[in-house]
Structure 1
């Protein structure tokens, strides 16, 4: 009896130690990724020795790591935290910076990550009955996403330059604009044409799995095409637009994945998901920008950085509209305005306007400068 109890306690201690080691390794690995993302410059993935060193280290980790620890370390939760949530944070940070090169880099990551995630969604179901295959699949998936993300390997840029741009961009470029126009036309038709109610009615009778596939396709297929085209253009505005979309859609996708198990049979669940996706996607709504600025930026602590970006964009717009002969004078006046002492700036206060009344009978107030 004592021997059995001792063995049980020993197993519990081993399990606790194993979990502690796994959590510590994950935290250290995440810190390494964070430091490399912020301290190292991206090289476009052109240094072969970085790739050799990275994959050699990966092979050693997979070979030497015990199976029990590997099962705990590499799972959907770990992949979601390190390879989805953290890139969302980096995407938010990239959008909030003045430089658009980091927007392009993160957009390249989402293109490569999203295509594999969407194309291999069926693998998770296939590997459920094969634990060993499932373990190695998650390990490879994790290290592949990290390879895409790290600046010294810069796998996302390498894949885009060597595969996406020369082979995929020429194929999808003619269709991207057509799909954009078609989506706008479809949305407008659904808004203005009541007789299309039967399309929604038919959607309700589809199976939950088919609804999920349709909903995910709506949120990924065209945005992937548009993102690929955006990276191939010299302008940075389209990169920022689609990176903003992916930041918001990534959160929406995670929320749907979390609640889908319980709500997938609730009528209207996938309809709401599709409507939210369209709201984020289409420029006519600018939903992604609104959600990004009002929710994601404050949560990530990037408000001041976004304000600096907006100020920089405003400066560039002013410079483009002001004649060269008056540019220095106007910019000097603007600089003095922003740098002036607040106590000397005109203050704005409100005083009641007793002559006008609103519809509710309240006295309206007018702003006056004193």
Structure 2
């Protein structure tokens, strides 16, 4: 009972930091660093994310930091998901890559113009986090509500195009 009262009296920022810490409590390197410097893991994640976001806002390494959030972190988490027995995390990360790939096709040409809009990169990073963060499961939402229907309706056309492309590539192979 007293933990419920303590939980209710925490300020909202502390509650968010505690929740973030819980989300990363299985990340051994982060937990080890937090223990060494005497700071909760949630604080390290929040400070790191805030610093990266500030760099992105001020145009310092925006492409690089966005790539770390949108590519490197999800790739590592996908590796971890493959190495677990559970299937839920596999579905989460496969869905992320489907949504990410679909959006990236449109983002690549549009970013030539969009990158000049204020807060483009911070919004892009926050959107990537929305897609993969376990509590929001944005990739699953976008996939289930938009992409799944489109892909199912066009699956036969896509498969036929892929088959023709494969045949064309195989027909044009160089031989020794």
Q: TM-score range by the shorter chain?
A: 0.5 to 0.7
Contact kept in structure 2, 1:74 and 1:142, CA below 8 Å = no
Alignment-derived partner of residue 123 in structure 2:
140
* CA RMSD, 1 decimal: 3.3
Q: Distance in 2 between matches of 1:151 and 1:73?
A: 28
Q: Distance in 1 between matches of 2:77 and 2:159?
A: 28
Alignment-derived partner of residue 80 in structure 1:
67
Q: Distance in 1 between matches of 2:25 and 2:157?
A: 37
Alignment-derived partner of residue 173 in structure 1:
155
Q: 1:127 to 1:180 in 2, by over 3 A?
A: closer
Contact kept in structure 2, 1:74 and 1:138, CA below 8 Å = no
SS in 1 for 2:129: helix
Match of 2:23 among 31, 36, 53: 36
Contact kept in structure 1, 2:95 and 2:140, CA below 8 Å = yes
Alignment-derived partner of residue 357 in structure 1:
none
Q: Output aligned runs, 1:190-229, within 5 Å.
A: 190-191=172-173
Whether 1:186 aligns to 2:168 is yes
Greater relative contact order (CA < 8 Å, ≥ 6 in sequence): 1
What is the number of residues matched between the two proteins? 133
Greater Cα radius of gyration, structure 1 or 2: 1
The runs of 5 or more residues in structure 1 that have no matched partner are 1-28, 40-61, 195-370
Q: Distance in 2 between matches of 1:67 and 1:92?
A: 29
Identify, as 1 or 2, the structure richer in strand.
1
Q: 1:37 to 1:112 in 2, by over 3 A?
A: farther
Contact kept in structure 2, 1:108 and 1:160, CA below 8 Å = yes
Q: Distance in 1 between matches of 2:25 and 2:158?
A: 34
Moved over 6 A (4+): 66-69
Q: Give the deviation of 1:77 after TM superposition.
A: 1.1
Could you state the TM-score of these two structures normalised by the residue count of structure 2? Answer: 0.61
Q: Distance in 2 between matches of 1:115 and 1:69?
A: 23
SS in 2 for 1:191: coil
Residue by residue, what CA displacement relative to the aligned partner does 1:138-171 show, whole Å, maximum 9, x if unpaired? 1110100000010000000111111122x31232
Q: Give the deviation of 1:90 after TM superposition.
A: 1.1
Alignment-derived partner of residue 152 in structure 1:
135
The runs of 5 or more residues in structure 2 that have no matched partner are 1-16, 27-49
Could you state the TM-score of these two structures normalised by the residue count of structure 1? Answer: 0.31
Contact kept in structure 2, 1:36 and 1:150, CA below 8 Å = no
SS in 1 for 2:119: helix
Q: 1:68 to 1:104 in 2, by over 3 A?
A: closer
Q: Give the deviation of 1:104 after TM superposition.
A: 1.7
Q: Distance in 2 between matches of 1:106 and 1:185?
A: 31
